[in-house]
Amino acid sequence: MTDSPAPSPYGRHRTDVQDPEALRERALAALLTARERTGLLTDSVDDHELTAQHSPLMSPLVWDLAHIGNQEELWLLRGVAGREAMRPEIDGLYDAFEHPRATRPSLPLLAPAEARSYAAEVRGRALDVLESTPLGDRPLVRSGFVFGMIAQHEQQHDETMLITHQLRSGPAVLTAPEPPRATGAALPTEVLVPGGPFTMGTSTEPWALDNERPAHRREVPGFFVDTAPVTCGAYRAFIEDGGYDERRWWTGEGWAMVREHGLSAPLFWHRDAGQWLRRRFGVTEPVPADEPVLHVSWYEADAYARWAGRRLPTEAEWEKAARHDPGSGRSRRYPWGDEDPTPEHANLGQRHLRPAPAGAYAAGRAPSGAGQLIGDVWEWTSSDFLPYPGFAPFPYREYSEVFFGPEHKVLRGGSFAVDAVACRGTFRNWDLPVRRQIFSGFRTARDA
Ligand SMILES: [Fe+2]
């Protein structure tokens, strides 16, 4: 599962890709974990809140729930097992390309009880398909790919549903323990990643999506990168220095966005009697200075970096800082090695409902010395979302190919809201540069 022919010393907790039974178990566990999270996110509000639209940017939660079931039916029951459609009349309602989010509440959607029983019935049948399908032959099921894809899809909607929870008004309904604090000596603010080639992307990770493939060599000149994402305290200094009032830090589009929407701080922040407060899942609290900043658009991240005399890292720089091991010359699956993430490595899976303070997760650091690359906050990069050399769409064009182009910027590393199954050193996310409701932050870089 690594991109180097050298045997890996990090194999202890890896899934053996040669062993279909291990992959079947891994798929089963990923599907069950995802459904448990879906249950928490949809059972924590009443039917009225499930069917309401909390923001025109988002679907009603009940749409996500039935869409999760519908995609699972399409791919696992009809696709893998060749079954008849269970409810052909609903396919159009849950086709994300057919209906933009803002219009979804006006559709004749399945009511909450129906959506729950549909998703549960699909799941019951899908687990039978998982148990009875040989995982070795067709590309779609080889290494359990399509089962992993559907678990990732559900987890991605669980992240989307958590964004809906963040956008809803009313009292808090979700709780989680606090993330770990930073321990040990203070980190340097930046580390040097020496110039030279490294292996970007993957050809061997069994559930990697088409846009992460294939592995290829990239030459990356030397650069310095922040050891942790930019904190709220550092971002506050940008605000207080008049960052949102000075044209010179902003691109033309970024400045237009600031003016049009009157932006003066990250989304969900406001100032009260000289103190910065934020709203987080129904609770108003002081903005913590040492926590990575969240809910900033690409334009804000880019403007901050320019104000700081720095820049956003390119996507290749981010991945090299996260995966390249100069000792062996190979790229790791994760910054810490090839083992799947544990709670000691990274803040993932909605285990905590906020990023950990900068400097936490010492066990998750990369050979470069940079930390918190996986989990905590999605990190904006300077790069447009483009295919790697040798890209081939799989299993369908609409997964990635239709989104390639300069209108989307790449985010890396996953946030606290992302499950481990949908987060790898090679995982690529993309969004519009105006987007702020996502769990997005950033780190900065400079040429060496
Ligand atoms: Fe979807």
Q: What is the pLDDT averaged over residues 222-230?
A: 98
Q: What is the pLDDT averaged over residues 6-17?
A: 41
Q: How far is the CA of 148 from the centre of ligand 1 (A)?
A: 14
Contacts of 208 (CB under 8 A, 6+ apart): 202, 424, 426, 427
Q: What is the pLDDT averaged over residues 367-373?
A: 97
Q: Is the pLDDT of residue 1 over 50?
A: no
Please report the pLDDT score of residue 100 as a whole number.
86
Q: How far is the CA of 157 from the centre of ligand 1 (A)?
A: 6
β-pairing, 283-286 vs 275-280, is antiparallel
- In DSSP terms, 384 is beta-bridged to 409
Please report the pLDDT score of residue 208 as a whole number.
97
Q: How far is the CA of 98 from the centre of ligand 1 (A)?
A: 12
Residue 353, SS3?
coil
State how far Cα 35 lies from the chain centre.
18
Please report the pLDDT score of residue 8 as a whole number.
32
Q: Is the pLDDT of residue 3 over 60?
A: no
Please report the pLDDT score of residue 413 as a whole number.
98
Please report the pLDDT score of residue 16 as a whole number.
55
Q: How far is the CA of 37 from the centre of ligand 1 (A)?
A: 16
Q: How far is the CA of 149 from the centre of ligand 1 (A)?
A: 11
Q: Is the pLDDT of residue 382 over 60?
A: yes
Q: How far is the CA of 67 from the centre of ligand 1 (A)?
A: 7
Nearest-angstrom CA–CA distance, 59 and 44: 17
Q: What is the pLDDT averaged over residues 251-255?
A: 98
Output the average pLDDT for the chain: 94
Q: How far is the CA of 344 from the centre of ligand 1 (A)?
A: 30
Please report the pLDDT score of residue 103 as a whole number.
86
Please report the pLDDT score of residue 17 as a whole number.
60
Angle between helices 145-167 and 61-72 (to 10 degrees): 180
Q: How far is the CA of 425 from the centre of ligand 1 (A)?
A: 22
Q: Is the pLDDT of residue 15 over 60?
A: no
Please report the pLDDT score of residue 137 as a whole number.
75
Q: How far is the CA of 102 from the centre of ligand 1 (A)?
A: 15
Please report the pLDDT score of residue 11 as a whole number.
35
Tell me: the pLDDT tens digits for 70-87?
999 999 999 999 999 999
Please report the pLDDT score of residue 20 as a whole number.
83
Give the pLDDT band of residue 102 (cuts 50, 70, 90): confident
Nearest-angstrom CA–CA distance, 203 and 224: 28
Distances 355 to 54, 133, 360, 409 between C-alpha atoms, Å? 23, 39, 10, 22
Q: How far is the CA of 95 from the centre of ligand 1 (A)?
A: 8
Q: How far is the CA of 74 from the centre of ligand 1 (A)?
A: 12
**What is 378-409 written as a DSSP string?**
EEEEEEEE-PPTT----S-TTTTGGG-EEEEE
Q: How far is the CA of 439 from the centre of ligand 1 (A)?
A: 18
Place of tokens 């979804």: 104
DSSP summary character for residue 42: H
Q: How far is the CA of 68 from the centre of ligand 1 (A)?
A: 7
Nearest-angstrom CA–CA distance, 240 and 225: 24
Tell me: the pLDDT tens digits for 395-421?
989 889 999 999 999 999 999 999 999
CA angle (165 as vertex; 352, 297 as ends), nearest 5: 85
Q: What is the pLDDT averaged over residues 228-255?
A: 98
Residue 409 near residue 380, CB atoms below 8 Å:
yes
Share of the chain above pLDDT 90, in %: 88
Q: What is the pLDDT averaged over residues 97-106?
A: 86
Tell me: the pLDDT tens digits for 171-192?
999 999 999 999 888 889 999 9
Please report the pLDDT score of residue 136 as a whole number.
78
Q: How far is the CA of 216 from the centre of ligand 1 (A)?
A: 29
Please report the pLDDT score of residue 245 as a whole number.
98
Q: How far is the CA of 364 from the centre of ligand 1 (A)?
A: 30
Q: Is the pLDDT of residue 200 over 80?
A: yes
Q: How far is the CA of 434 from the centre of ligand 1 (A)?
A: 21
Q: How far is the CA of 186 from the centre of ligand 1 (A)?
A: 41
Q: What is the pLDDT averaged over residues 14-18?
A: 56
Q: How far is the CA of 159 from the centre of ligand 1 (A)?
A: 11
Share of the chain above pLDDT 70, in %: 96
Q: How far is the CA of 292 from the centre of ligand 1 (A)?
A: 28
